[in-house]
Every structure is written in structure tokens, then in C-alpha cells.
Amino acid sequence: MKKFIYCSLLCVLIASCSDKLDEKHEDPDAFTSTKIEYLFAQGAQKTIENNYGDMYTYLFRRFGIYLQVTARQEGQDKTNLYQNVTSDLGRWQDYYETRMGPLTEIDKIYNTLSEADRTYYNNFYYAGKVLQAYNTILTTDFFGDMPYSEAFTARNEIYGGEVILKPKYDSQKDIYYSVLSDLEKAAAYFGGNPSTDGTFNLQDILYKGDVEKWYKFANSLRLRYAMRISNVDAEKAQSVLNTLSEADLITTNEDNAALHVDGQDTAPDGIWRAMNESHSTAQGYYMYAPEPMVNMMTTAADPRLKVYFQPNMDDDGNVIDATIGINGYPCSADEAIKLLNASGNNGQDFHAQYAAYNTITFRENYQLPVGVGISAAEVYFCLAEAAARGMFSGNAEAFYKKGIVLSVQNYYTYYHNSDSEMVKDKAIMNADISDATLDAWIDGSSYKFQSANALEQIATQKWLHLGIMQVFENWAEYRRTDFPKLIDDRENGVLLNQENGLVRLMYPAEEASMNTENYNAQSDHNNTSTRLWWDVK
């Protein structure tokens, strides 16, 4: 069965238009005159959004638990989350078909155009390169080496060029270098005052055609990926950092690469449906507030605590008893098992005792971004690390504090703008979250910057900020930095996480049979304990 992902078939991408597209394929000019715009909007959505499967399956039932940004009530059989991962978890097809299909199709159409028509579509082409870069790093950070330079050629039969149905695996280093080069070219294009004529502003669902924001998005990704490889390839990372200044980057929450929709009627179901189905009597309890995070935030008097979490939650997301404080649920399997055994009723009333993610902020908030690519807070945490390591000019403490300030303000905006019908907390709505007030709070809290502990503090704050909204990015950063120091997750005394934790995903089984020679060349690394190129200790 030839369903091979490198084909990027448009019948998968745009099923409702398949018959018409088949006709269009016989006339490339007709196709290109009307469809690049649609493909771009499709590609942008699939790149940035947190879809339902990502949130339900991977956030609340796997990676969120690994990272202790969420906690599940059940402790028994938790070992299966760590030790029985024998597949790609659907991430391979997600990349080659869902995410990259529309974007690589744009490339092929673009390359058939006249020089004049290319000029018209340059904004789509270079913004598409930024989105491709994002998708590619997301995926190589799951698998390491993978087909890239020879992938996406099957449809060359239509557009011209070599068709390679059994592509080689590129090294992760080569993939990172290629992506960084593409981002540099995209940033140079958007920084060169490109034309804003045409339909880009109408089809750009991320930035509404604002090319300056695309310039900052491209450069902010360059910063992120330079820091990702900085422990293994400091020279390359430094060469990227040398070309960046603070002015080139996303430095305000208004410029965040966050995908918004108009409301529930037009939104992908993503996080909201996943939350409704992840914390209820019928489906189990998977989004308790994790005890380590709650304790850390409580100690610091973190103003995000009540924006992240609420004291307890019924099946509809309502607070059951507002007089109870925000109590975190254990993140260790053995502690959860002990708690359940001691309850006498298998924890049937725990949903009334333990905190969960805030309904107003997340679960019933259709103004919440359906996905976040990168934010100003993360940019400043990257700058703080780079400055602390002598790789970037600037004050590490100032960058660190700015990251926390922007994170608080970011999440308060989510709460303030929520269209949930639940009554909002007046204390949150009236809180002073000005820069000056938050600066003073940080200096008087357990978050106060300490040069000797700077890298751990910075990584921990990044973990707090990325949280559940950017769980895949959070997993990559945890593997890179080994911070924060998570609680030992043990079942029957056996340590499940820390050095025993999952560090990559398996290639899909089809690769061994459909791309055998290239798969065999690197199959010795195909296990969940082989660290990625950049994951050095």
C-alpha cells in the first residue's frame, strides 16, 4: 500500500477539493493563479495550532506527565508511559503530510512561475519557509536524523524534477544547518522592506500581512535554534547570535507568534475539547495542578498561580469549593497510589480536593490562542541564557526578569480577555501587573536572580512559561537543559523518569519495509534511549 508520506498528496490535505484539484493538476497555471493563498493559510494553521490529538493524547496523557506540567490521578501502570513506546506516536505522518504538505506544494508551484509572478508571491514563499523551519525542527527534535533534503519529491512528476521515493536520512546537524540558513534568508527578505501588495494580508492568518512581525518571527526562531545546539556546536550557535540584536526579535506580547480565531464557532477544537475530555468522572482525571509546580509558585507568591489553576473542578469545569486552597496533586506514581489507597473510595472525591487548570483561562476561553509558535517571554529567556554564558551582549538578570514579567502579563491577558461565562476573580482582574510592580515582586521572591544558579533559574522559568501551551517545545528544552529538577517518578520503587526517561521517538514501522536501505543505515539508533545530536550531558 503506497501511502508514503513523502508524496504529500493534496487529496489528504484538501479532501473536499480532490476532484477539482485532479483537474487543476493538468493545468499548473490555473492551479497557481488561485491556490497558493489557500495553501498558505492551510499550512499556517496546521503549523501553529494545538490540535485536539496533540492536546488530548500527547499533552495530558504523556508529555505533560513526563514534564510534570500536569498530573493524572491514576498512579498504577504509569510505567507504560515511559517503557512501552514502540511507535512514532503519529508524529512522522503529522510532519510529512499534515504540516508540510501545503507548504512544500507552495514551493513547487512557486518554482513554475514567471519572475513577475514570483515577486507577487514572495511574501507567501518566504513566510512558508519560516513555517517549514518551525515544523522541521519540531520533528527532528522527536526523531533526530530523518529524510529531509530528498523528501517531498514525489509530486515532482507533475512539476518537473527528480522523483525520490526512498529518500536518504539527513543528520540532525545538517537539518539544523539547513533550517538556520532558510530562516536567515527569510529574515533578510522580510527585513528588506518587501512589497505588501497583493493578497498576503488577507491570507496571513498569523500576522495579517505584517512583514516586520515575520522578520522578528524568523529571527526569534534563529535565536531559539541557536541556543538548542549551543551545547554541542557552540561555534555555529555563536555565529547566529552574532547577527542578532534585541531589536531583531519578538520583544512584546503583541508580536507573539500566536494563532487566534474569532471564537468557538470558527476555532479548531484543540485545547478546549481536550480539556473537557481530560478531567471528568467518565474519562478520568488528567489535568490536576502538579504538586511541584504549585509548591514552587506558592513559595514565590507567583501571581500566575491563580491564573493557571483553580482550587478544584467538577465535570463541567466549575469550582466546587472556592474556600479550599490550590492543592497540587502528586507527580510520583507511588505517591498517587498511596493517596488513592488511603482514600477508601478510590479517589472518587479527589476532584473536589485538588486543583486543576483554570477554566476561565484555558478550558472555556475561546479567545485563547489555538497555538503559540514563540513568545516574547521565551525570547528573553533565550537571551538571558545566552548572556549568562557570555554568548550575547546584555545583562542576564535584566533579560531573565523581563521574561518573567512578560510571561505574567501574557497569561493575565489570556484571563482578562477570556469569553468564559464564569465569573472572573476581581483580585485577578484588578491586579497591578505593571513592569515596576512585577520587578519588585521578583526581587523579593524566591525567583530573585542568582548568578551562581542562573542557568537553572532561567530554564525553570522557561518551563513554567511554556507549560501546557507549548508542550513539545517544553520537552525539547527539558532534554537539553535537564532543568527544572523534577520529582522522582517511581512506580513500585522503580525510577521511571530522570535518566530513564524517553529522549526520542521511534521511527514508524513502515520505514523498515518501504525505505529499507536508508532506514538500515541508521537503525542502530532507533530506540527511545538514544540521545539526539544536541542532547549532550
| pLDDT 10s digits, 277-318 | 999 999 999 999 999 999 999 999 999 999 999 999 999 999
Q: Is the peptide bond before 484 cis (omega within 30 degrees of 0)?
A: yes
Residue of 104, 93, 102 lying closest to 205 (CA atoms): 102
Q: Which amino acid is at 356?
A: A
31 has pLDDT over 70: no
3-state secondary structure of 93: helix
Question: From residue 221, how far is each of 44, 388, 480, 513 by CA, in Å?
Answer: 15, 20, 16, 35
Report d(CA 396, CA 286) in Å as an integer. Answer: 36
Distance from first CA to last CA of the chain, Å, rounded?
42
Q: Can you give the pLDDT at residue 537?
A: 78
β-bridge partners, 356 = 288, 310
Q: Can you give the pLDDT at residue 265?
A: 63
Residue of 394, 400, 393 lying closest to 453 (CA atoms): 400
Q: Can you give the pLDDT at residue 196?
A: 82
Report d(CA 408, CA 301) in Å as an integer. Answer: 12
Residue of 369, 357, 336 lying closest to 276 (CA atoms): 357
Contacts of 404 (CB under 8 A, 6+ apart): 377, 438, 442, 447, 461
Per the CB < 8 A criterion, the answer to whether 437 and 291 are in contact is: no
Report d(CA 291, CA 112) in Å as an integer. Answer: 56
Q: Can you give the pLDDT at residue 160?
A: 86
Question: From residue 326, how far is each of 118, 344, 357, 424, 442 by CA, in Å?
Answer: 56, 23, 10, 17, 21
Report d(CA 401, CA 159) in Å as an integer. Answer: 51
Q: What is the pLDDT of residues 432-469, one digit of tens each?
A: 999 999 999 999 999 999 999 999 999 999 999 999 99
Report d(CA 72, CA 76) in Å as an integer. Answer: 10
Q: What is the pLDDT of residues 195-244, one digit of tens each?
A: 887 799 999 999 999 999 999 999 999 999 999 999 999 999 999 999 99
Report d(CA 232, CA 236) in Å as an integer. Answer: 9
Question: From residue 481, how far is each of 64, 95, 244, 294, 484 by CA, in Å?
Answer: 17, 25, 23, 21, 8
Q: Which amino acid is at 348?
A: Q
